[in-house]
Amino acid sequence: MPSRAELNVRARAVALDASTYTNDSKLEQAVIYAEKTVAGDGVKATQTLTSNATNVSAADTVTIDGYVYTFVAVPAAAFDVDIGGTAAVSLDNLKAAINDSGTEGTTYGTGTYAHPSVTATTNTDTTQVVEARLAGANGNAITTTEVATTLSWGAGVLASGADGTYNLGQSETDNSQLSGGANV
Q: How far apart are CA 177 and CA 182, in angstroms?
A: 9
SS3 65: coil
Average pLDDT, the chain: 87
Q: How far apart are CA 14 and CA 36, in angstroms?
A: 10
Q: Which residues of 82-111 are buried (b: 16+ CB within 10 A; e: fewer)?
A: bbbeebbebbbbbbbbbeeebebeebbbee
Q: How far apart are CA 73 and CA 71, in angstroms?
A: 7
Q: What is the DSSP annotation of 77-97?
A: STTEEE--SSHHHHHHHHHHH
Mean pLDDT, rounded, for 176-180 = 52
What is the tens place of the pLDDT at every residue in 88-126?
Answer: 999 999 999 999 999 999 999 999 999 999 999 999 999
Mention every residue, 6+ apart, whose C-beta is less than 8 A from residue 85: 55
What is the tens place of the pLDDT at every residue in 15-31?
Answer: 788 889 988 898 888 88
What is the tens place of the pLDDT at every residue in 137-147?
Answer: 899 999 999 99
Question: What local confidence, expressed as pLDDT, does residue 167 receive?
Answer: 46
Q: How far apart are CA 132 and CA 129, in angstroms?
A: 10
Question: The whole model's pTM is what?
Answer: 0.72
